[in-house]
Chains A and B, each alone.
Chain A
């Protein structure tokens, strides 16, 4: 660490008094590393004094997590022991913090009153943990995770076991949680964001990490906004803004760090988020330099260790008269939790001119994503297999041209260095005959080839013949390569089925089948297990997946509002000018004077620009601002009306005629049946919008023969027909069956709706679905199979027991209120009014 020193050098700097006096504030990693770097360049140039606030020698702060987890002792993480200070003639003032910098006099004052003059001053005060100022944050038992004292407190708390709550699911928080969990505490991690470590990980990797931590027994609560830390003198629990209470004997706040800048600010140095430094690490005062987590360089502050080394090199070069300049750092992150391999580096936020290459291996729990811009790698996220992390990081830092290895980049260094440009077919051709192609069914390449030789000439016949690609389908590409290699020009090409969207090779049916078979319960889980090729899907697959999941798992599904189209997110119909229209439900098209008065009052109060009777016999109030939606709903709720779901892929309306109650031709109570059908079916989410009509006689005034489900009453009962559409392609309904009673008619309706919900593709109306599967199939399931019909009805009614809630009432009660409020408002000159 010392450069060899010659006698001559010593003579040039005869006595310490003639050396420049360098005072370092901060005995942490940055301060000491800077001193080491300076000493290695010119050991005798400065007379050095280091002030440290902690009463101990310099240690490796990033190794505190292993100390907490019991993997290392304090002695093992000491970087410089007392003899280093002694041997280099450095004066260490530990346990006595500097409290003021007097720039005019060029001296610093410490807490004990000691005054020390300097020629050059180096500020390396690092950062302070960020404390959320919620009630109770000063209770005993609430600590941060920053220094050895914190670790000691955690170890003491862990001796008696109990519950620990870690606030913050970033790098530091998860390492604290891991350590406490290993020390025997029951750990809950609270994280404000939807995914863990969202700065370093994308949603997919964050999901995998969460699953693994939960498997290890930690409780992870995301989108957890801490309201209060409870307890009289010692902490007893944490309360969230949603009212949840969690027991706690220890609370660790690890929500982030902020540059420690108070000293610099008081001395009136230029400070923004950190102490502003130039490329030589010089502050706004030429005699004062700064380095480490306390600085802001070219607008960036760093909280990781690697940039610190680079800053210290530039600083030492400058201070020994050989300036090189610091240009900023590209950072990489690894989580120090044993058994979890996770790496992230660079920029993975994506963009128009960037390309994502994603590889997922569900069976090994691997997720890899590299982000390429032009011919350069700019970011990487690896989970499960991080062996190539340093290789990617190196490519990224050196900005190496990767165009030659692009095709093989995602497979890692060993593969890409093979050099050959990858043709998927030749890679498959090179596999040995006993290489496994289909992991689900254990089918080897030899068996697939034998099957093709035996006459199979397309994917479906291979699936039928040897079961390869017949389960999860992720080996479909490999099987198609084998078909193309074996059959050459005779191969008709990849099958013509259309995948769900460009993010996947799976069809809608494949995805739905896998959701059920593999019990997939969340969007990120589907994307991982089914090898999605984009990190967070697109506007086309996300709403479809949200629907498929809620249909498959009505009680367990967690709604993802960001995967809903605007109308379903806002529970109103967006109009071309950005306002909304509001349609209250009117059962069977029946209304009352009271309801009409409430609608008229609301139209006046919210300055509706139009009220219109819709094609489905409802009233549509136009021109409502998104901010006013919760209040107009509250007013309509008060008059007994609920959401009409006129905006949803859901049951829209049941249109009726007046039927036998009034009409001289009416054969049955069509209005009554319409109301019953609407009351059974409203609130149910479906692949697309769904309309029902009930006509009281074959004159068909309710236009039942162009609805998704139409009922025409006749003297002897009810004729049900399905698959009609009055849209772009006019289509009359096909006859389904006849029911003799209302009860039987309702059973058929429930069964048909559920079959449509379970089997149609998202965004398919009933018309194209009926045409694709055929009426014979539908009659087979609904009419001929009575137990099947009853099971469908039962599943529908069960889903309805969960979904049949008025979304307007929920919003009025405050749910998702941010959707209806501005984030803030700018008023020029008066400037700002937070919402």
Chain B
């Protein structure tokens, strides 16, 4: 664990942000990433559990997901689209899923996150609160730019329609995919997101998925292999999603 020197549990987003503007203060959501880090840097934690960010609300055709919803919550609420629920289940095992939050997942921007890929194809937009205002940014943009210091992910809103399918290649069935392709299709359109091909999950062009991707290889798969997988898996995911849309 990092060496926490102070711990705060603010009762509102406003109070949390007023703490987070300090350089050594970090937002603490579920803790599965931050508390697992053995960086000995001295930090102050701002625990968000009492900020009222754990709601699910239907807003028109979209679903608004509070940032402090756990992945377990996503798997058990019937309003959450099946594709998102399945991705939340695949993201982490049972003992971490109950802690990890959707907001923490977004802020972490892990390259292999199948949940982020699912959120991308569900056209997720992220509400970010800052010292002066709230803004809404597409998830793809936030994954690219990250969350600014002193700002906080407070919610995501997603579409709920369509069929979502994920195809992945991994060492074992439950392993984090080397590459995954998540596709969502409606009668009118299709979306595709890839993991394992960039520094964070990315939206890809369904017509030409490998355009603009430059995978980085590691011990699980070379760059060339990842590129090949992205083409194959995209094709499969899109075909299946369209078939059942």
Q: Do A and B come from one complex?
A: no
B-to-A contact residues, CB < 8 Å:
none
A-to-B contact residues, CB < 8 Å:
none
